[in-house]
Amino acid sequence: MSVFQALVLGIIQGLTEFLPISSSGHLVLTPWVFGWGDSGLSFDVSLHLGTLIAVVWYFNQQWKLLFVAAVDIVRKRRVETPEERRVVFLVIATIPGALGGLLLEDLAETTFRSSALIATNLIVFGLLLWLADRIASRKREMDVMRHRDALLIGLAQVLALMPGVSRSGSTITAGRALGLTREAAAVFSFLMIAPITLGATILKVPQAVREADDMLPLIVGVVAAAVSGWLAIAVLLRFVARRSYGIFAAYRLVLGLVIFAMMYFRG
């Protein structure tokens, strides 16, 4: 893989991980569209190290509060403050995704990387995002979340093992369907990235390093993902403070139809 290809894939990873349009789908489709070799799941997961850096970087003050809250939970053996409840919610939401990743890893590396499946998921889950965003109440903040909400959002994250679904898209859709405001749904979705991504990178980055003939493309990809990811978070949170997720649903629909058209004309 060339440095240019790694740069392009890193930028795409950073932008699409936080925008609800499927990072994994774009990472599979980009080499397919341009005729590059498949970068492989290990390289794709390694790029998530960049998005992990982005989410820790952007929400650094919140992470400090959550770390202190986690220590307090262990020390006091009870949950009292909003930050402590948020820690518990993040733990609950992470468990389904972690189990799903371990159980479905082989399918994620093979069957799920189908162009037809990606196109279908883009369209179907784009429509679900539009529907949930349109009909949902807009009054609930993270402070009034319940354990059930965290579990359901965590279960939605499992669906994102299929490229085209979008991890942020599925969790934001679930959050909106449960009545969270657009900003609250996005922030909780982004905070959920850290624990599940940390686990995935610990498992996959060493494999990507072993497979790499040259470390420079991998490093360039990770840095590009971190910078573009930070920008994506900032832009999305400002955007949804005033507007709906409809534009992202429309983009998913158009992209899915374009992929089907390309498959048809390529025979």
> 91 vs 78, 97, 151, CA distance in Å?
15, 11, 9
Distant-in-sequence, close-in-space partners of 117: CB < 8 Å, separation ≥ 6: 111, 162, 163, 164
**Tokens encoding 64:** 């400090």
- Cα separation, 147 vs 222, in Å, equals 34
- Phi and psi (nearest 5°) for 42? -65, -45
* Three-state DSSP state, 180: strand
Query: For each of the chain's 267 residues, which pLDDT tens digit applies?
Result: 789 999 999 999 999 999 999 887 888 788 888 888 776 666 777 788 899 999 999 999 999 999 999 999 999 999 999 999 999 999 999 999 888 877 776 665 555 667 888 999 999 999 999 999 998 776 788 888 999 999 999 999 999 888 889 999 999 999 999 999 999 999 999 999 888 888 877 877 777 777 767 788 889 999 999 999 999 999 999 999 889 999 999 999 999 999 999 888 876
Alpha-helical segments (H) within 35-81: 41-58, 60-76
Compute the C-alpha angle 22/172/245, nearest 5°.
80
- Cα separation, 27 vs 166, in Å, equals 12
Q: Where are the domains of the chain?
A: 3-265
> 108 vs 35, 60, 145, 220, CA distance in Å?
21, 31, 31, 25
